[in-house]
Structure 1
């Protein structure tokens, strides 16, 4: 899998993150590579390896279908060649962003996420109140031939102005990578009419860990 990221793409992503707090790159991987990842996600689901996602931490960890409806499996090195290559690609991105923005990103965690038709994830932030390590959220979409009316958009809330709130709806198109600051942008996943697949992850800095 491609792990080289062009200087031009890195510069654009870095500029967008600095100026607006989010960035989008289409065709981040080759179409064949994206299809392999989608196939891997579906195979794992068929094998019962994806489980209902929970919200909260520690004693507050709960499965709440009225808040979040996806099923997930965390990626670990050695699970499969295609996910190992994906982790290498994201590590190349981590190193490139560190070189451009001096973010101090130390590692990357990620999971497959499968939303069945009608599932959603209500508005939230990606950084925990008691753990400040997550710095940059990254969502890579695996949905080929996604139609304009299928729903399932990622809605980024760009400001908290009560009079004129601004938001951006991002379609979950195959090959599209979305980056945004984990502690700054509230977001939600809107219901889709069909199955919706992604790899969702976070670049983490050292931070102060669990507070």
Structure 2
């Protein structure tokens, strides 16, 4: 399992590029457990929406993936969240980001599913600071993550799903998309968040 404090390469990538790609970040045993958890809750996956809270909408012309938000009902989920908590602590210690918490969901893409170009946070209007994507399986074809250069239509990087690979990038900075899946693609999408609370009320997740 990745130890940021023992390998500055990934922290340097974040500082210089705004993103990093970490192969084999999560051990195989946990990946297996997380996949088993996906199979367990498969009937509970639902069409993903766009927006948050009262503004949440379903629009399958923009995205067609299915999601299940972590609910803490399995040891695999708790172990993964503990791992991401360790990463949150390291990011705060290194970059003084003031990251407050972490939220995440399973994402399932079946044949033909996609997510068109979007950003995970609009500048000054979101509490999402850093996006994470962990791949749980290795599809033979399709489902690549395409990240675009800042304020450009040029491609920065194309990432092929590979079980155990963790991707981190600045939520406000990078437009990205998921190309149509051909084989089933399972992942965990998550966000390290700052607390945008007002009058002592903690900003809600999602």
Q: Same fold (TM over 0.5)?
A: yes
Q: Report if the CA contact (8 A) 2:84-2:102 is conserved.
A: yes
Q: Report if the CA contact (8 A) 1:14-1:101 is conserved.
A: no
Change (3 A) 1:200 1:27: same
Aligned partner of 1:103 in structure 2 is 97
Change (3 A) 1:121 1:85: same
Counterparts of 1:111-130 in structure 2 under 5 Å?
A: 111-128=105-122
Length, aligned pairs only: 199
CA RMSD in angstroms, aligned pairs only? 1.9
Cα separation, 1, equivalents of 2:179 and 2:92: 31
Are 1:185 and 2:174 an aligned pair? yes
SS of the counterpart of 1:105? coil
Aligned partner of 2:10 in structure 1 is 13
Which consecutive unaligned segments of at least 5 residues does structure 1 have? none
Change (3 A) 1:62 1:103: same
Cα separation, 1, equivalents of 2:30 and 2:178: 24
Cα separation, 2, equivalents of 1:105 and 1:13: 18
Cα separation, 1, equivalents of 2:4 and 2:124: 36
**Given the two structures, how large is their TM-score scaled by the length of structure 2?**
0.89
Which consecutive unaligned segments of at least 5 residues does structure 2 have? none
List per-residue Cα deviations over 1:153-207 (Å, max 9, x = no partner). Answer: 1000023346xx2331101100000000000000000012111100000000124
Counterparts of 1:127-138 in structure 2 under 5 Å?
A: 127-128=121-122, 131-138=125-132
Aligned partner of 2:83 in structure 1 is 89
Structure 1 stretches of 4+ with a deviation exceeding 6 A read none
Q: Report if the CA contact (8 A) 1:109-1:203 is conserved.
A: yes
